[in-house]
Amino acid sequence: MINRFAILCMTAAAVFAAPQEAAKSEALPKAETILDRYIEVTGGKAAYAKVTSEITTGTMEFAAQGLKGSMTTYAAPPDKTYVAIELDGIGKVESGTIDGLAWDKNAMTGPHVKSGEEKTQSLHDATFNSTLNWRSLYPKVETVGAETIDGEVCYKVVLTPSEGRQVTSYYQKKSGLVVKRTMVAASQMGDQPVETVVSDYKDFGGILMPTRMLNKLAGQEFTMTIQTVKANEVIPADKFDPPAEIKALLKK
């Protein structure tokens, strides 16, 4: 689910390509067809519809800085999320969304309640089961071209939400899978170009998900690797409660 990875990417960013060959000209499929095909090749509508919660664990590495750590994400309908990242030498980095609130907290920048475009983007990305419900999230979708990425022709699809920033996703013509995502993200540090290259799809409970994400953001490059994805686990309601520091900011 690409939006979940966007949340992880922006949480990590709070701490901190080769030329592409043009594909041969041909009639481009409609974006709606490409997005619906992605649902089918990764498991189908019925498999997605069965998911009522999600707990993801994995690792994160900033190779150039020699930083490694763990990450855990909790998600539940309609847009509840909690992300915890533990980085060696940095400490804990957290973010979350619940009931229209979006926040993050880490030792370097302190607690932060999001507002404006940053808040809109976080709440949009937190929408549960976003892959299945793309029509409500992106009222306008358009196939704008085709590019060759790692030897495979990919369709370039621009997704425009009713509020917030456009997202550009690249879907392999042969497999139908997403391989790259780009956008300009709003953040506490200002607008940030983000590129995420995804790979190593694996089956978790009947749904194929990418388990490796190479991210480029704010002059940093880091890799996230998903190890486990547990669906339909009972998540305590208080898991999504914002920490005391965020509650204190809300009272001001």
Distances (CA, A) of 145 to 44, 168, 169, 193, 236: 26, 11, 11, 20, 44
Q: Could you tell me the residue range of the domain that residue 23 belongs to?
A: 2-229
Beta bridge partners of 212: 199, 225
Q: Give the whole-number percent of the chain exceeding pLDDT 90.
A: 80
Judge whether 235 lies within some domain. Answer: no
Q: What is the pTM of this model?
A: 0.88
Judge whether 58 lies within some domain. Answer: yes
DSSP string, 84-124: EEEETTTEEEEEEEETTEEEEEETTTEEEE--HHHHHHHHH
The more confident residue out of 190 and 53 is 53
Q: What is the pLDDT of residue 3?
A: 60
Q: Give the whole-number percent of the chain exceeding pLDDT 70.
A: 90
Closest CA to 4 of 109, 93, 91, 128: 128
Check which CATH number belongs to the domain holding 58 and give it.
Answer: 2.50.20.10
Judge whether 68 lies within some domain. Answer: yes
* Predicted confidence (pLDDT) per residue in 184-229, tens digit: 988 877 888 999 999 999 999 999 999 999 999 878 899 999 999 9
Judge whether 241 lies within some domain. Answer: no
Mean pLDDT value of segment 103-116: 93
Pairing label, strands 220-231, 207-217: antiparallel
pLDDT at 240 over 90: yes
The interaxial angle of helices 2-13 and 116-125, nearest 10 deg, is 140
What is the chain's mean pLDDT, rounded?
91
- What is the count of structural domains for the chain? 1
pLDDT at 57 over 60: yes
The more confident residue out of 219 and 136 is 136
Q: Is 83 helix (H, G, I), strand (E, B) or coil?
A: strand
Judge whether 238 lies within some domain. Answer: no
**Which amino acid is it at 192?**
Q
Judge whether 143 lies within some domain. Answer: yes
* Predicted confidence (pLDDT) per residue in 139-169, tens digit: 999 999 999 999 999 999 999 999 889 999 9
Confidence of residue 92 (pLDDT cuts 50, 70, 90): very high
CB-CB contact of 111 with 94 (8 Å): no
Judge whether 61 lies within some domain. Answer: yes
pLDDT at 16 over 60: no
CB-CB contact of 197 with 214 (8 Å): yes
CB-CB contact of 117 with 165 (8 Å): yes
Judge whether 177 lies within some domain. Answer: yes
Q: What is the pLDDT of residue 17?
A: 33
Q: What is the pLDDT of residue 75?
A: 98
